[in-house]
Structure 1
Amino acid sequence: MCGRPTGPWFAVPADALGYYVVAFDQRGYGRTTGWDTSSFINTNLAQFALTNLVRDVVTLVYALGYRKVKCIVGHDFGAVTASMCALMRPDLFNSLVMMSHPFNAPDLLPFDIAHADTEAHAPTPPLHVHAELAKLDTPRKHYKWYNSTSAAARDWANPAQGLHVFLRGYLHLKLADWNWTAQELAKLPYYYIMPLHKSMPETIADMMSDQNIAATEAWMSDQDLAFYVQEWSRTGFQGGLNYYRIMTDPVRMTDLQLFAGKKIECPSIFVSDAKDWGNYQQPGAMEAHPESCSDFRRARFIQDAGHWPQQEQPRKVVDELVAFLSNL
């Protein structure tokens, strides 16, 4: 089990089914070591390529003395890693649970162009979406590209409201209980498509001005959150943010061309909540699961959960995991 650090995986009774459960930090997060901690400009970003993340997991499995994994479960960016594990090593990972982040298959390579009219088959020029976002009546920017900048880690680590309040707000705004309005439902919220001239902490502070944090405190106590504040204060955020630098740069994603056209072969399911905007960040990815995954069993949308279903509704998530594992 892996995911962007947000809290423990509560009440996972897989041991009752005869499985060992391993929850690990990904490279760059938590107490992991050995990755490049040099300055932003000098970081060896190749260390954070998706193929290297899969290598980390394979190395961990072997280090623990196993040659098969019954199921790999990933939440948020952990779902990216878990999906890539299933894609690249179907011999090792027997099944897959993706949570809150659909599988986005590697781009296809140009096909049957050897004798084609090169002009007729020229790729469509990319839409300069970032320039278009900046031209909106309320100028905006995409959070992934913001997180790829040299300023992002400093902003995350030094919020004016304090790290505890910032992280509490970040958790709260992705809850099912956040107060959606018709206007907000018509567009991705500001924590995804940010105001052009604001940092993430500033964006969160604005959005939290009229919010009640009680719903978040129900599953993330101040004591638990204080531990994360302690760890983030010690490590900073650059290790985790380096992944955005990889995923927003097509040149750094070319290693995935090895798997162009390949499907995830093992049994898989997707677990999330319909209120989670993370489902819709990559248009069409969730709907493409039956095509990108050869044995896609189902998508389950848990009621009364937002982006953190394993924490907001742990019992319901556990029920989905147990049902899936029991039918493999």
Structure 2
Amino acid sequence: MAEAGYRAIAPDLRGYGGTARPQEQEAYSIYDGVGDVIGLLDALAIEDAVLVGNDWGSTLAWSAAQARPDRIRGVAAIGVPFMDPAPLPPSSFFPQNEEALFYTLYFQQQGVAEAEFEADIALTLRKILFAASFDAGPRLPGDGTPNPFSMVSRQDGLLGPLPDPAVLPSWLSEADLQNYVAAFTASGFMGPLNYYRNLDANWRLQRAFSGRRIEVPVVYMIGQQDVGLSIPGMREIIAGMRDSVPGLRRSVFIEECGHWAPQEQPEQVNDILLEFLGELTDLP
């Protein structure tokens, strides 16, 4: 983006990397994140910006565009589509049984997932990054392919069933992995997991904007093998998104790509972003 003449800013969200890590669980609501975005724009004297986000970054970008369209010029959302609040709090309908529970429920109890993930941070990152990528193989509902964002065994935890790749995939260098390891060694996983622990709180807060559409220009992209597409109804949500996102220019399914599109297919992602930014003719 910088080489194309744009000002590109890539901040760590709260709880990650070098950014502050509040201890209070409730400090990680989606609107705390929106406030951080607006605060960053204010600190840098930027009137408005295009937000680019993957997964939780997409959720943050959608919420920022909905709440503060005066400061958000456009959104490039990757992976997570725009969804209105569900009729009930999310925790009330996530599945669980005696043997396993949905990963978002597994993350709810303070300290449990932290202990599993922080026992061997390099192993944790290798397993999760690989298992959610295209390199892990085809992703079909019910095919049994290990998925880090699905049901979690009460006995084996989230990491147990996931493969540990003998060789890192081509898009993940050893140097990059060690940078991630150093960052999570410094920050731990409490902050990232607290985003999930605010799902019900977010639901309560987002009801204030229920039915409010995303009017700013939007491009949406997702890997064709993104693990999120195995969630029942996800493709239908993506197909029907224009009703709530009239600013949607297009939805792009990226070939040979899993959940980590900016890392797995950076050239395609950049091409899509540059095309989208070029359409916003008033950008500097």
- TM normalised by structure 2 equals 0.88
The aligned residue for residue 3 of structure 1 is none
In structure 2, what is the equivalent of residue 99 of structure 1?
78
- Tell me which residue corresponds to 2:216: 266
Check whether the contact 2:146–2:161 (CA below 8 A) recurs between aligned residues: no
**Would you say the 8 A contact 1:86–1:264 is kept in 2?**
yes
CA RMSD of aligned residues (A): 2.4
Question: Of 144, 147, 150, which aligns to 2:107?
Answer: 147
Query: Which residue of structure 1 aligns with residue 182 of structure 2?
Result: 230
Gaps of 5+ in 2: none
In structure 2, the residue matched to 1:305 is 257
Q: What residue number does 2:153 align with?
A: 195
Q: Secondary structure at the match of 2:219?
A: strand
* 2:118 pairs with 1:157: yes
Whether 1:134 and 2:97 are equivalent positions in the alignment is yes
Q: CA deviation at 1:269?
A: 1.4
The correspondence for 1:46, drawn from 12, 22, 26, is 26
Task: Map residues 9-28 of structure 1 onto 2, 5 A cutoff.
Answer: 14-28=1-15
Distance 1:253 1:212 in 2: 40
For these two proteins, the number of residue pairs brought into alignment is 275
Q: Is the 8 A contact 1:49 1:253 kept in 2?
A: no
8 A Cα contact 1:141 1:194, kept in partner: yes
Amino-acid identity (%): 27
Equivalent in the alignment of 2:243: 291
2:171/2:264 contact within 8 Å kept? yes
Amino acid at match of 1:134: N
The answer for the alignment partner of 1:239 in structure 2 is 191
User: Does 2:35 align with 1:55?
Assistant: yes
DSSP 3-state at the match of 1:72: strand
SS in 2 for 1:300: strand
2:246 counterpart SS class? strand
State the match for 2:58 in structure 1.
79
Counterparts of 2:244 and 2:143, CA distance in 1: 28
Are the structure 2 counterparts of residues 30 and 295 from structure 1 closer, same or farther at C-alpha, using a change threshold of 3 Å?
A: same
Q: Distance in 2 between matches of 1:63 and 1:315?
A: 31
Q: Secondary structure of the residue that 2:19 maps to in structure 1?
A: coil
Structure 1, unaligned stretches of length 5 or more? 1-13, 38-42, 109-122
Shift of 1:281: 3.9
Query: Which residue pairs with 2:67 in the alignment?
Result: 88
Deviation sequence 1:267-300 (CA, Å, 0-9, x none): 1111111210224547343233111212111111
Q: CA deviation digits over 1:210-251, x for unaligned, max 9? A: x5434x2x222222211221221222100110010001x2x5
Residues 56-83 of structure 1: CA distance to partner in whole angstroms, max 9, x if unpaired? 00010111011121x1100111111111
> Are the aligned partners of 1:104 and 1:282 in contact in 2 as well (CA < 8 Å)?
no
Query: What secondary structure, in the 3-state scheme, does the structure 2 residue paired with 1:293 have?
Result: coil
The alignment partner of 1:324 has SS state of helix
Per the alignment, residue 318 of structure 1 pairs with 270
Taking the aligned partners of 1:49 and 1:156, their CA distance within structure 2 comes to 22
- The structure that has the greater radius of gyration is 1
Secondary structure of the 1:199 match is coil
Is the 1:87–1:262 Cα contact (8 Å) retained in structure 2?
yes
Displacement of 1:97: 0.6
Tell me the distance in 2 between the aligned counterparts of 1:164 and 1:252.
Answer: 31
